[in-house]
Amino acid sequence: MALKVLSPAKVNLFLRVSGKRPDGYHDILSLMQPVSLYDDIEIEAGEGEGISVSSDNPALPVGAENLAHRAASAFLKKLGKTKSVSIHIKKRIPVGAGLGGGSSNAASVLMGLNELTGAGFDEAVLMDIGSRLGSDVPFFILKSGALAAGRGTELKRVKVPEFGYILINPGYHVSTAWVYGNLDLTKKPENNKLTYSVASFREGFEVGDLYNDLESVTLKEHPDLAEYKKILVKNGALGALMSGSGPTVFGVYTDGESAQKAYAAVKACLDETVSAFAVKGL
């Protein structure tokens, strides 16, 4: 049995960090939207045992540390059965880019194996398995824009405008742990969760709400990212922001067509080591 699935990236339209938790994670409040940049994943499940992961991207670890591998293992443990599982990941989402590629791959494997094996686990069960793998994994199981609270696993579906985006990835990796470790939490006001509350989203999201507490840490180490933001705004973006812990930055456009029209001009401003993608919100 084999199944091919599309595994989308995400952007954080805002990300507030309100403190460090006893479990080592951080409490956040973030608005996330999946976008139309996808990895292609092929999953096969059959009789036998053993999990294998392969990829066309040599930068992607394919052993037991890979999130897709861990997702398959966690799923089979919940299922209580042994299966032979083979996963191939064709990467389009840059690795370690702040776009949630690994978490999305894990979510896709959980949902794919749920279909292939006929397990019939509901969304809540899959999200519970996913939450033990990584903070962003449950978000991708929702298949929706969402407001994420706690360590990112407390989710509420939110209707986000169908913005267009241009993503710029500089081609290097930024450690999420390093970024959080260098964030000065003493500067975080207690009213973050009051300003950015679930209730406020009944009135909708405005581009002026773009904000990321992690941006100052990453941009201090990588000032080139600020230049990419300027390029995006110069080429018609309504606003620009870093996604997650970076290093990918994105420009927000009114719709996918507007982003596509601006793409060539943005790309012309970048050197060959820098990647750019025109996408739309899902």
Question: Which residues belong to the active site?
Answer: 10, 136
DSSP string of 1-44? -EEEEEEEEEEEEEEEEEEE-TTS-EEEEEEEEEEEEEEEEEEE
Task: Tell me which residue of 41, 133, 49 sits closest to 87, measured CA to CA.
Answer: 41
Which residues touch 127 (CB under 8 Å, ≥6 apart)?
137, 138, 141, 142, 153, 155
Polymer length of the chain = 282
Q: Cα(188)–Cα(193) distance, rounded to whole angstroms?
A: 11
Q: CA-CA distances (angstroms) from residue 226 to 185, 221, 242?
A: 22, 11, 9
Which residues touch 14 (CB under 8 Å, ≥6 apart)?
29, 30, 31, 196, 209, 210, 211, 212, 241
Contact 120, 9 (CB under 8 A): no
Q: Alpha helices of 80-158 — where are they, by DSSP H?
A: 101-117, 123-131, 137-142
Residue type, 140: F
Whole-angstrom Cα Rg for the chain? 19
